[in-house]
Amino acid sequence: MAAEPVAILDPEDERIAPFRAIREKDLVGRRGLFIAEGTVVLRVLSQAHGKGRFVADRILVLENRLAGVADVLAGFPDDIPVYVCGSAVMNAIAGFDMHRGVLALGRVSESPSPAGMIATLPDNALVAVAVGLSNHDNAGGIFRNATAFGADAVLLDETSCDPLYRKALRVSVGSVLKMPWSRRGSGAEILTALDAAGFQVVTLSPAGEDALHTLRPDRRTALVLGTEGEGLPLDILKAFRPVRIPQSPGLDSLNVATAAGIALYQLALSTGRIG
């Protein structure tokens, strides 16, 4: 059962100070902390709390939203403080009009290494790998799609953006808190480790000779996604023969999160993971 809500009347109240980080565009100084926003993500956080890498630290709800989220709050243990405020305080904290009015501060433990992550994977495994992914919407979309098609993990290289960033977490509909993932090491390190662990490494390129649906995936398959715009570095494309998602000629390629969705759908289908 949740804690009794405590009213906050002053935007400078120290108990809600960490929520001011929501104004920061970058994550400097927020290492190990994240902001969960909205009812959907808060519900997932209540389910993830204390079971893996994530814990809820405190919750802040707009007073007129309190009744609406009562069942979600009930999912948290009563040692997690719940603060309630009016819209003036909420807007002063968030620095913009905070319609959703449901925020939680969470803490995350250190990312496992790629090797550590891979060691936890089953014999039949499908993973998504992101190298140099820079857009938070796309990071969230990749997690949502990986979850939809039953992937076992997402491995991001150290240059990819943080999937716990507020917007990414929201776009993922909270799946960043459910799906096992790591964000460490270089793309080359991750792919070498996957290769050594018996993974078929699948890269995508419009110039790929074979179409994705003609591929016969191995029991362990890793789909590699590159930077928006640039795609994957040439050395990675050279080392692992790319396949293509067939599409109309002469067009801009698909958005990377959409490409991930289509490729994971096809790989999940080809391996009998879905059907």
Q: Which of 81, 101, 141, 226 binds a copy of itself (CB under 8 A)?
A: 141
For position 160 contacting a copy of itself by CB under 8 A, the verdict is no
> Which has the closest alpha carbon to 143: 114, 113, 172?
172
For position 245 contacting a copy of itself by CB under 8 A, the verdict is yes
Q: Which of 87, 91, 134, 258 binds a copy of itself (CB under 8 A)?
A: 258
For position 165 contacting a copy of itself by CB under 8 A, the verdict is no
Give CA–CA dist 189/68, Å, rounded: 46
Q: What minimum distance in Å lies between the beta carbon of 204 and a copy of itself?
A: 13
Q: Which stretch binds a copy of itself (CB under 8 A): 3-11, 60-68, 189-197, 263-271?
A: 263-271
For position 87 contacting a copy of itself by CB under 8 A, the verdict is no
For position 148 contacting a copy of itself by CB under 8 A, the verdict is yes
Closer Cβ to a copy of itself, 65 or 244, answer by number: 244
Interacting residues with a copy of itself between 37 and 66 (CB under 8 A): 40
Q: Which of 1, 67, 234, 251 binds a copy of itself (CB under 8 A)?
A: 251
Contact partners, residue 138, CB within 8 Å, separation at least 6: 228, 255, 256, 257
Contact partners, residue 185, CB within 8 Å, separation at least 6: 113, 114, 157, 158, 193
Cβ(78)–Cβ(46) under 8 Å? no
For position 3 contacting a copy of itself by CB under 8 A, the verdict is no
Q: What minimum distance in Å lies between the beta carbon of 154 and a copy of itself?
A: 14
Q: Which of 173, 177, 236, 243 binds a copy of itself (CB under 8 A)?
A: 173
Closer Cβ to a copy of itself, 179 or 190, answer by number: 179
Q: What minimum distance in Å lies between the beta carbon of 246 and a copy of itself?
A: 4
For position 114 contacting a copy of itself by CB under 8 A, the verdict is no
Q: What minimum distance in Å lies between the beta carbon of 241 and a copy of itself?
A: 19
For position 199 contacting a copy of itself by CB under 8 A, the verdict is no
For position 147 contacting a copy of itself by CB under 8 A, the verdict is yes
For position 230 contacting a copy of itself by CB under 8 A, the verdict is no
DSSP the chain: -PPPPEE---TT-GGGGGGGGGG-SS-TT-TTEEEEESHHHHHHHHHHTTTSSEEEEEEEEEGGGTGGGHHHHTTS-TTS-EEEE-HHHHHHHHSS--SS-EEEEEEEPPPPPHHHHHHT--SSEEEEEESS---HHHHHHHHHHHHHTT-SEEEE-TTSPPTTSHHHHHHTTTGGGTS-EEE-S-HHHHHHHHHHTTPEEEEB-TT-SSBGGG----SEEEEEE-BTTTBS-HHHHHHS--BB----TTSPPPPHHHHHHHHHHHHHHHTTS--
Residues in contact with a copy of itself, total (CB under 8 A)?
Answer: 30
Footprint of a copy of itself (CB under 8 A): 40, 141, 144-145, 147-150, 173, 211, 213, 245-248, 251-255, 257-258, 261-262, 265-266, 268-269, 274-275
